[in-house]
Structure 1
Amino acid sequence: MDSSIITIFLPIALAIVMAGLGLELTPNDFKRVSKHPKAVLLALFCQLVILTSIAFVICKVLTLPPLLAVGLMLLAASPGGPTANLFSYLYKGDIALNITLTAVNSIIAAFTLPLIVNFAIQHFMNDGQHVGLQFSKVIQVFLIIIIPVCLGMLVRYFRPELADKLNKPVRIFAVVFLIIIIIGAVAKERSNIMQYIGDVGAATVLFCICSLVIGYFVPRLFGISSTQARACAFEIGIHNSTLAMTIALTVMASTTIAMPAAVYSIFMYIFAAIFGTLLNRYAPSVQPSIEQAPN
């Protein structure tokens, strides 16, 4: 992938995608956390603690090569993707909870993602390999996530009609952008792509399945309604692979680190659709939404 595309186009395109995420958010999405904290806190615990721990175990058990291990940890540290809202709608999840989780998770990820990735680098990388998130790059990650989301929220707050008009085109752009960076990353590593799929394919499938299963069943174990648990499952199970790949390619300057997110992108929608279909068949959702349901 051309260096000018990586340094200029990818950050701008990702900023548009993250701003599109902000177009769907309002201050009420953050206020809702205090009214319904249980589902939100459980989902965040699953995302930040359980799943990052599972990703670490997968890296160790499958003995992933160092750069691919860092890539999987980067993917695990990335927040839920905007597509989670669509899956929640299709499979009868609590969309309001999805939006709340997206809002909170995106803000928290600006702080937790650099910490998790730096831990992975220190643990998996050999002394002779130098790929890292120094302080300046941590600030870059923070700005990539926070500034565009805040700009999108400002548009939603001051010009809601404009936000509604922009929402669909930005969603389409997000899908096209994801496809483009996957193709670009795969094309650059085409000589090694089959090896990468062999190395990290099983790991990404395991991680995807674990994300969906844990996202649903852990909240259910703590008394969260099926509707809210579905929202948690899709928010946790559909990671923002676009963000992970763009950080790998721009901030970390490594196509190899981007490979787990690229391979994961191929699987996640398939497994999310299968998981949602199984839930609709075997776990009917009859609970009220987050706006009505008690904690």
Structure 2
Amino acid sequence: MGSWPVTVLLPVVLALIMFGLGLSLRVADFTRVARYPRAVLVALGCQLVLLPGIAFWLVAALGLAPAAAVGVLLLMAAPGGATANLLSHLFRGDVALNVTLTAINSLLAALTLPLVTNLALTYFAPAGHERLGLQSGKLLQVFALVLVPVLAGMLTAAVWPALSGRLDRPVRVLAVGFLTVATVAALIVERRNIGGYLAEVGVLMPALCALALGIGYLVPRAAGLAPPQALACAMEIGIHNSALAMTIAVRVFGDIAMAVPAGVYSVVSVPLALLAGWLCTAGRRRAARGAEPRFRAQLIARNRPAR
């Protein structure tokens, strides 16, 4: 795929997103793992092993076209990002845990993305595609796409903290603007083929997103994590960096069909995450409403004059 929306704009979008992520990260975000060892291990186990394994089984069972199947696995291996942190904050999750998971996943992705994608390419064998190869030039491209902008953002924040604070919002706005333009332009360029792409993954991606959010909440709860930590894990596991998956699909492999699962996921994931956040906090809201009358009664009794 050599059209300008994907070869020019998507890398710019990804660089801005990853640079903005780096601006928000500090060294403490990596060392904070000592405070959440069980939460981090459970979340990483779900995100790096359980979810890709389930996705692999689903796409194989459904008989997806090879390129689309690889695209699904590529997306499932992509880390979370700033959107997960925002959604966690909205529903009073443990945002510090979110930031720690995002920081660790952003570094691990340089290794896990090629590993999962290699396995998918080997099994599904889409025509015209070779494996990334752990020593190949394509691995270096993935490494550069994932880590270089993040490290640049972290360096900027460390050396010029005041500047990084001023850059945060403009970088986010530019990233959203470029992503919108790139998506619309790519849809126009691929308008003859997009219907077939969507028909193949249009149902699977919402189902996978709902499954990821459910796994992200229920498995940590079963492991004994508190609801705010489980909610943080759910957002981190359920929200993936779709721009990263799309950029690798079209920049490294030159295949728009591989990018479609990530594009569909980016559209459905936020509404589903909002619904999941509302459902996960329903119990806390009911408990708060039930406690309010009791609190008022106790307050009145405490302030009632003695006879």
- TM-score exceeds 0.5: yes
Cα distance in 1, alignment partners of residues 153 and 88 from structure 2: 22
Partner of 1:234 in structure 2?
235
Q: Which runs of 5+ in 2 are unaligned?
A: 288-307
Please give the per-residue CA displacement for 1:115-155, whole angstroms capped at 9, x wherever unaligned.
Answer: 101110111125x4325424100111011111110111111
Q: Kindly provide the amino acid, as one letter, of the partner of residue 183 in structure 1.
A: V
Q: CA deviation at 1:50?
A: 0.6
User: Which structure has the greater CA radius of gyration?
Assistant: 2
Aligned-pair CA distance for 1:174: 2.5
C-alpha distance in structure 2 between counterparts of 1:177 and 1:243, whole Å: 14
Q: Where do residues 39-50 of structure 1 align in structure 2 (5 Å cutoff)?
A: 39-50=39-50
- Measured in 1, the distance between the counterparts of 2:231 and 2:285 equals 11
Aligned-pair identity in percent equals 47
1:201 is aligned with what amino acid? G
- Output aligned runs, 1:190-205, within 5 Å: 190-205=191-206
Matched, 1:163 2:164: yes
For residue 94 of structure 2, what is the amino acid of its counterpart? D
The within-5 A match list for 1:82-161 is 82-126=82-126, 128-134=127-133, 135-161=136-162
Q: Deviations over 1:67-126 (max 9, x none)?
A: 000000000010002211110111111111111110000000011101101110111125
Q: 1:141 to 1:197 in 2, by over 3 A?
A: same
CA distance in 1, matches of 2:205, 2:285: 28
Structure 1 length as normaliser, TM-score?
0.91
Q: Which residue of the partner structure matches residue 174 of structure 2? A: 173
Q: Find the aligned partners of 1:60 and 1:154 in 2 and give their Cα distance.
A: 42
Identify if the C-alpha distance between structure 1 residues 35 and 244 changes in structure 2 by more than 3 Å, giving closer, same or farther. same
**In structure 1, C-alpha distance between the alignment counterparts of 2:167 and 2:143, rounded to whole Å:** 24
Distance 1:260 1:155 in 2: 33
Describe the shift of the 1:5–1:185 C-alpha distance in structure 2 as closer, same or farther (beyond 3 A). closer
Give me the whole-angstrom Cα distance separating, in 1, the residues matched to 2:284 and 2:120: 37
> Where does residue 15 of structure 2 map in the other structure?
15
Aligned length: 285
Using the alignment, how far apart are the partners of 1:92 and 1:153 within structure 2? 26
**SS of the residue aligned with 1:145?**
helix
Say if 1:246 and 1:285 are closer, same or farther in 2 by CA, change over 3 A. farther
> Scaled by the length of structure 2, what TM-score is found?
0.88
Residue matched to 2:297: none
Query: Distance in 2 between the 1:103 and 1:208 partners?
Result: 21
Q: CA 1:43/1:280 → structure 2, altered by over 3 Å: closer, same or farther?
A: same
- Deviation string, structure 1 residues 163-208 (Cα, Å, up to 9, x no partner): 1111111122222233233223322321122222221011101110
- The answer to whether the 8 Å contact 2:83/2:239 transfers is yes
Determine the C-alpha separation between the residues in 1 that align with 2:71 and 2:286. 35
Structure 2 distance, partners of 1:244, 1:53, is: 17
The separation in 2 between residues aligned to 1:255 and 1:105, in whole angstroms, is: 25
Aligned counterparts of 2:171 and 2:130: Cα–Cα separation in 1: 32
Report the counterpart of residue 270 of structure 1 in structure 2.
271
Please report the RMSD computed on the Cα atoms of aligned residues, expressed in angstroms: 1.8
